[in-house]
Amino acid sequence: MGPDEEATPVSAVSGETSVAAAPAPGTSSGVQDRKGSLPSATAPGPAGAPVTAGSTDNLDLEGRLRFGELKLARLRFGDADLKIGARDGKLDIDNRVRRFYEGRLVGRFQLDIKGTEPRVTLVQRAKGIQVGHLLADLPWNDRLSGRGEITADLIATGHSANALRRSLVGTLTIHFPQGVVRGFSLERLIWEARARLRGKAPPKDLPMDTEFTDLRASAEVQNGVLRNQDFLATTEHLRITGAGTLDLVRGHVDYRFEFRFVEPPKGLGIKELERIPIPVHLTGPFDHPRWDLELESALSTAVKRRLGEKGDDLFRALKESTEIKGLEQGLKGLFGR
């Protein structure tokens, strides 16, 4: 079964697990009354914890495991049906999870212990999930929320969780048709900076968050580092592109975004920046990243657009003025650091 296959209804057994032999054609696939247990194939645990496979290398097994609720490696699974096979030092699990963060999860897990180190293969597709709830359980910050899809095709080798992270290779894609980035609004930052410089109160009811109507990205994973070159998100008045890295080993993010206002309504005070790239650098640990607004290039382009080729010379002169310096520093300060 591949990750694109639909999950079929299963009989969940809340609070317990059971093993049932694969039914013969034409017979029921319900959970058997007898209980069984699987050989120990320990999933990656805390950092440095060993990954063991017990007697899997001597096992010849075919069966099914069904459960109503399970929490594993901080993640929550519900109404799951697993098809399990073990032979010649390999453990294969095809999973169909009907409840996974308000969506579902379909895919395949393989543990191979024939080599000098355990080798883990993970092919999964999560559809219709709430990403904010997933990030909160990992636990990372839940500033990003929305319902969408994540696909992963990953391989790792090693005897511990740290070794698995350092060896991780593969691909990852995300697509969220709608959602919210909480606590960040470029429009609000620009308005507040203008108000500070002019000694006036900013307009009321400015947005606190950024709602997007489409967010998508893909990443190549090498040695535990995700590298993305095609981040794209759109909002009502913004188009956001980006590229950067997520280092799963160090827990560090290094991303550069470009924001462009597209057809902002008249009177918003940001019309002069329309379609001019505004660079933003996101860097630091996953739980407390730093936002830096690199406004100088955007201001230079805006002045040149209005005044023609002489704009560059004028901008260099204006940079020495208190107002331009104050605008740049004020905007950077509003990003938090």
Residues in the chain: 337
pTM: 0.70
The strand pairing partners of 225, in sequence order, are 222, 247
186-241, pLDDT tens digit by residue?
Answer: 777 777 766 665 677 777 777 888 888 899 999 999 999 999 999 999 988 889 99
Q: 323 pLDDT exceeds 80?
A: no
Phi then psi dihedrals of residue 167, to 5 deg: -100, 0
33-82, pLDDT tens digit by residue?
Answer: 333 334 444 444 444 555 554 545 567 889 999 999 999 888 999 999 99
Per DSSP (E only), the strands in the chain are 17-20, 61-72, 75-87, 90-100, 103-112, 119-130, 144-157, 169-181, 210-222, 225-235, 238-247, 252-261, 278-285, 290-293
